[in-house]
């Protein structure tokens, strides 16, 4: 018998368009202060953890059965949370908003179709586009402070006629929220679907409305949300969207049957019952964010105004050196976005004070 040859990825009949690609992934390093993936630093409270355990135990007794394929209760609960007159027929849920975005592209993108986004923005938009064989058309954010100039955006949409447009607001990694007029202008010009990725919606500053208010007048608009950030539930993988019921009919054609486990559904519904408590922590994080922006400015750093739970800051001649210096002090931030800047997630007050102290030391070493 022949000894098995070691097989590598090169030897497999992988799709040509995936050859040479690297998997997505921020480094998952064990560090004392992890400020690199825009997670919520507050773990579930003892009361929430106990409610989760109770409700999961109850669900466990029925795990021989498939879950509610349409996640009816969860979608109604999510609609109640969103308000704006929404109901469960206008809300859809999946395993993280990444799966939501993938289902959108499976239904509305695909071979021969194109998706457009305004960069720098969330790097998974082009990745999910590629994986669904949707051609990606990047457009530069040309407004000041990483804003999208509405005239440029409308022109780009009219010129390219994309099947799907992504508007991320607040934007990752810049923190920039879009005025509703920009979203409305793009929605009016777009021939296809417009997705407003509002993963960080709850962290917006006062006076920045959500695109949810535009849904009624724009049947091809989708607002995507997640429980990973404000609801501190990144480990549970729950994303959702609000859109016209016909959009949800379209997503039903591409979703896998029973895609959202019974455990996930009950965990998400339980966390929603604790919305007040969780949103209280969001308020604290917003204050911490505003204080961080102020401190960075006062200390001579360049900072993008942020409506999210992270801040993009610089300017560094060698940002990798700053990134490494922070890591040596136990603080992990993200090397992402414009080449002279770094992104830091807003953590607890104690974590941010360690970050500020370390940053002053490291930036003095690399003037």
| Nearest in space to 96 (alpha carbons), one of 5, 202, 225 | 225
Contact 208, 177 (CB under 8 A): yes
- Residues from 221 through 280 that contact ligand PMP (CB under 6 A): 226, 228, 234, 239
Output the CA torsion sign for 195, 197, 201, 206.
Answer: negative
Which 32-51 positions form the footprint of ligand PMP (CB under 6 A)? 38
Contact 18, 9 (CB under 8 A): no
Q: Phi/psi of residue 148, each to 5°?
A: -100, 125
Site string for ligand PMP, 153-182 (x = CB under 6 A): ---------------x---x----------
Nearer CB in complex with ligand PMP: 121/270: 121
**To the nearest whole angstrom, how small is the minimum distance from the Cβ of residue 207 to ligand PMP?**
21
Residue 92 binding ligand PMP, by CB under 6 A: no
Smallest separation, CB 79 to ligand PMP (Å): 18
Report the residue number, 147 or 325, with the smaller CB distance to ligand PMP: 147
Q: For 203-255, give the DSSP string.
A: GPPTT---GGGGGGG-TTEEEEEESSSTT--GGG--EEEE--HHHHHHHHTTS
Residue 197 within binding range of ligand PMP, rule CB under 6 A: yes
Contact between residue 340 and residue 363 where contact means Cβ atoms under 8 Å apart? no
Taking the least distance from each CB to ligand PMP, the nearer of 98 and 210 is 98
Which residue in the set 122, 231, 274, 301 belongs to the binding site for ligand PMP (CB under 6 A)?
122
Decide if 169 contacts 198 (C-beta within 8 A).
yes
Q: Which of 163/197 has CB closer to ligand PMP?
A: 197
Task: Examine residue 120 and tell whether it contacts ligand PMP (CB under 6 A).
Answer: no
Residue range at the interface with ligand PMP (CB under 6 A); choices 92-100, 202-210, 273-281, 334-342 = 92-100
What is the Cα–Cα distance from 297 to 56, expressed in whole angstroms? 46
Binding site for ligand PMP (CB under 6 A): 38, 96-98, 122, 168, 172, 197, 199, 226, 228, 234, 239
């Amino acid at each position: 018998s022949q000894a098995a040859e070691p097989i590598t990825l090169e030897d497999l009949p992988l799709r040509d368009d995936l050859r040479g690609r690297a998997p997505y992934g921020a480094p998952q390093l064990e560090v004392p202060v992890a400020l690199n993936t825009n997670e919520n630093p507050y773990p579930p409270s003892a009361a929430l953890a106990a409610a989760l355990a109770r409700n999961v135990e109850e669900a466990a007794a029925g795990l021989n059965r498939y879950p509610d394929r349409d996640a009816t209760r969860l979608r109604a609960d999510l609609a109640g949370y969103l308000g704006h007159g929404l109901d469960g027929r206008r809300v859809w849920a999946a395993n993280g908003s990444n799966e939501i975005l993938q289902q959108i592209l499976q239904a509305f993108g695909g071979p021969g179709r194109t998706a457009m986004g305004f960069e720098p923005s969330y790097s998974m938009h082009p990745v999910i586009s590629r994986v669904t064989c949707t051609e990606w058309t990047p457009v530069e954010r040309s407004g000041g402070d990483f804003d999208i100039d509405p005239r440029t955006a409308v022109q780009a949409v009219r010129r390219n006629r994309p099947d799907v447009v992504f508007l991320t607001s607040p934007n990752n990694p810049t923190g920039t929220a879009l005025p509703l007029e920009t979203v409305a202008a793009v929605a009016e010009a777009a021939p296809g679907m417009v997705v407003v990725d509002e993963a960080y919606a709850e962290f917006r500053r006062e006076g920045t409305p959500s695109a949810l208010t535009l849904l009624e007048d724009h049947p091809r608009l989708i607002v995507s949300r997640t429980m990973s950030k404000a609801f501190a539930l990144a480990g549970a993988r729950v994303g959702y969207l609000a859109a016209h019921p016909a959009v949800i009919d379209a997503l039903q054609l591409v979703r896998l049957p029973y895609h959202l486990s019974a455990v996930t559904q009950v965990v998400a519904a339980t966390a929603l019952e604790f919305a007040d408590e969780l949103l209280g922590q969001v308020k604290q994080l917003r204050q911490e964010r505003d204080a961080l922006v102020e401190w960075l400015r006062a200390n001579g750093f360049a900072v993008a105004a942020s409506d999210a739970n992270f801040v993009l800051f610089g300017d560094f001649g060698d940002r990798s050196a700053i990134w490494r210096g922070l890591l040596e002090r136990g603080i992990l931030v993200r090397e992402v976005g414009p080449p002279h800047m770094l992104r830091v997630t807003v953590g607890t007050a104690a974590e941010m004070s360690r970050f500020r102290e370390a940053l002053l030391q490291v930036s003095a070493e690399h003037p």
